[in-house]
Structure 1
């Protein structure tokens, strides 16, 4: 039986420093006249119940973007932008569902069946975390660990992991039963890392 949409909280990760974009707030940079984060929210919203936006800057602007989706803005509880795991922890703590689906704010083409496919794999494997891999035409595998469906019961373990000074997403996943789901379209997970990449993406 499929996992119902309303049992999943969507988590948009927009709390980074945007260092490769010169320190600008990545999710607020525009693509086709609209913020990147808004493109991602539109893709994420139909796949989940409640929505959260993890943002450490410009909370009011993100609140305005999230308002049509009834999304709540949350911030890291840890100082100094310690990375995506801090955003995940904030999302796991704030969620009122048993599952959280995370996606970064700079991936406007994320698949419309992301939640369904990850949920099916999580359920079938009785796993704690389901994450994404892609295979390109040369049969090269790429991992996309920030796209993940995970159980909110992992929050305390993640807090302990971060409290020990650890920051690597895949190292934390390795502590738990994790299943990887392969998607054929690598372009759907393309993330925009620089203003030049954003301009190139828009031209294409």
Structure 2
């Protein structure tokens, strides 16, 4: 069913539509028809660009992971400025205020999607493992600046912060946590390793 409208950057349009459906209606509502309806194009458009819907979803997840790179770079560059706890609280809020929580649910919800992602992403849930790397890189930079204790176990602190942040934001339909709750969580996880006032 042609729409008669030329579509520019089809993949991006479809990915943006998928994100809107995922955030609004959850992973169970994410179907090829829902995505193409949201994008305002014929269902066949998706299938012309992707082998099947799970191939589309795998590329969608990886595209959204790639979008985390600027946030990771900005966080790393903030090392040495502001308060460590505040920097991390803001980073967690930005991360989990995005589609990240819904992405975790999507990957958990679809067995075939997980199998496809394993081909290029051998361990973990892509959004969460990328987030752990982002936090670890920042903590390492702060450790190099002596704002984090030299013996801080970054390989344990980073996933602990991501896990705690995910739990705070896990109910995507509820009220997001207050900024102070996020800050308190970060301060608790980092208690004893931050070398500045919490």
Q: TM-score, normalised by structure 2?
A: 0.26
Structure with the bigger percentage of strand:
1
Structure with the bigger percentage of helix:
2
In our comparison, the structure showing a higher alpha carbon Rg is 2
Q: TM-score, normalised by structure 1?
A: 0.26
